[in-house]
Structure 1
């Protein structure tokens, strides 16, 4: 869980000439209903909707401030609710710097029923419950710093990863078998990371997108897969299809290379990034990348695969982190954490308990 030092901001992010406000933000929801306040015209960033939250006092950590602010503003007691860290944002409004520590808080049915009809908070501010789809569609005008939060909220609780082509070597036609398996066994509207390790399989990925236009696709950020990203809309046998790619994946190696040698290099200008992390060093690199993209006004880092949580069949000699160490590393990240390694979709509750927002994998993530 966050430490007492969480409300201290890395001075490298900000100029000391402009004041920095450290804020805890609660993304409160019950299932697909999300709670928003409304800032009056006289306030900073006025006439906009906002998530509940407020300034972290010097004697508080982020979670303590969150519990206090939510109680003061709405009367909702969240001390017994699971608070999952989504991430941290450092935003420059010109006249002030804001460091946001964002947590997702799900209310119980009883809490929601008790508060869903409240039109005003305890401080007189307007409150409204909004549908997640409308929120993500941008129907509610939020402060600029909140746009990344909406990207984070789009990440589902489960992400499938495609099998390597070698898994189907026993078949007389591994390529056709790969396509048939994934076409038939991906759940509806699934997020799927299509790994294209073998040269020449870019068209196979495109074929899967063609036969399953409902899926949301993550592809690696490398030179071989960029043709998929630049051909928008995609064309398969002269048939135009919508481009379902929603993010690029940056490997652990590529992330460290960027951090060590080429921090000035811009990665994936048009798509959000999901990165792979295994330790504190790679999480630090991911935080640098996330901050750089925010400064450059590029699509954000929307998640980090943190692995391996448990022992896996594919890497039996790799020592897993275990839930406790995984949780400690997750707290260091400035973006949502996705559990990977020996997990199944049913283990999302453990991931939430230990500070993650999603789980990913291969074997257990297909029908």
Structure 2
């Protein structure tokens, strides 16, 4: 997706869907392109009262003053201590109890837990389902966002089973 189109999609999601937390995940970009996109995304988020998390190495915060870092589950499991200042948000992708425990050890402020449902991006991964998701949320010890096949219509159900809310790409990225 070209940069002008990306910016327009993000601006629309912030304005029309009232999104207040954005995770910038763009693994296909090289470092310079990612940093340029992150700077523009940060400006748009600030303009609309939203927070921005960068998806990548914690050192990205040395170059872009975003609100925090989101760790992949692989990176989460490699760390021994919180990699960023307490003044910044630290979140992580989790998929099981071991990763939730590691997130707690590192002092993550919140996590996403997935996949709740089968997703087109990971069709080979067995979904947790609502029951197992709820069991993990109850033991998480931190706010958890449901991820994986979620739509805005799942937000109330997710909160009813203990989640902070939902995370979604396809439902908000139109």
TM range (shorter): 0.7 to 0.9
Give yes or no for contact 1:189–1:216 (8 Å, CA) kept in 2: no
* Corresponding position of 1:124: none
* Corresponding position of 1:228: 64
Once the two structures are superposed, what CA deviation does each residue of 1:184-237 show, in whole Å capped at 9, x if it has no partner?
A: 2333352111113221221112112224421221112515623113xxxxxxxx
* Corresponding position of 1:113: none
Q: Say which structure is richer in strand.
A: 1
* Corresponding position of 1:190: 20
How has the CA–CA distance of structure 1 residues 324 and 175 changed in structure 2, closer, same or farther, with 3 Å as cutoff? Answer: same
5+ residue gaps, structure 2 = none
- Select 1:333's aligned residue among 130, 137, 140: 140
Q: In the alignment, does 2:36 pair up with 1:208?
A: no
5+ residue gaps, structure 1 = 1-167, 169-173, 230-244, 291-300
Task: After TM superposition, give the deviation of residue 366 of structure 1 in Å.
Answer: 4.4
How has the CA–CA distance of structure 1 residues 202 and 320 changed in structure 2, closer, same or farther, with 3 Å as cutoff? Answer: same
How has the CA–CA distance of structure 1 residues 209 and 222 changed in structure 2, closer, same or farther, with 3 Å as cutoff? Answer: same
Q: In the alignment, does 2:71 pair up with 1:253?
A: no
Work out the number of aligned pairs and report it: 165
CA distance in 1: counterparts of 2:69 and 2:123, whole angstroms: 27
Once the two structures are superposed, what CA deviation does each residue of 1:141-179 show, in whole Å capped at 9, x if it has no partner?
A: xxxxxxxxxxxxxxxxxxxxxxxxxxx3xxxxx222222
Once the two structures are superposed, what CA deviation does each residue of 1:254-290 show, in whole Å capped at 9, x if it has no partner?
A: 11111xxxx2x44111412111110111011112122
TM-score after normalising by structure 2 = 0.84
How has the CA–CA distance of structure 1 residues 322 and 257 changed in structure 2, closer, same or farther, with 3 Å as cutoff? Answer: same
TM-score after normalising by structure 1 = 0.42
CA distance in 2: counterparts of 1:181 and 1:287, whole angstroms: 33
* TM superposition outliers: structure 1 runs of 4+ over 3 Å: none
Once the two structures are superposed, what CA deviation does each residue of 1:33-85 show, in whole Å capped at 9, x if it has no partner?
A: xxxxxxxxxxxxxxxxxxxxxxxxxxxxxxxxxxxxxxxxxxxxxxxxxxxxx
- Select 1:271's aligned residue among 84, 88, 91: 88
CA distance in 1: counterparts of 2:41 and 2:67, whole angstroms: 15
* Corresponding position of 1:323: 130
Where do 1:143-222 residues align within 5 Å? 168=1, 174-186=2-14, 187-188=17-18, 190-197=20-27, 198-199=29-30, 200=32, 201-212=34-45, 213-214=47-48, 215-222=50-57
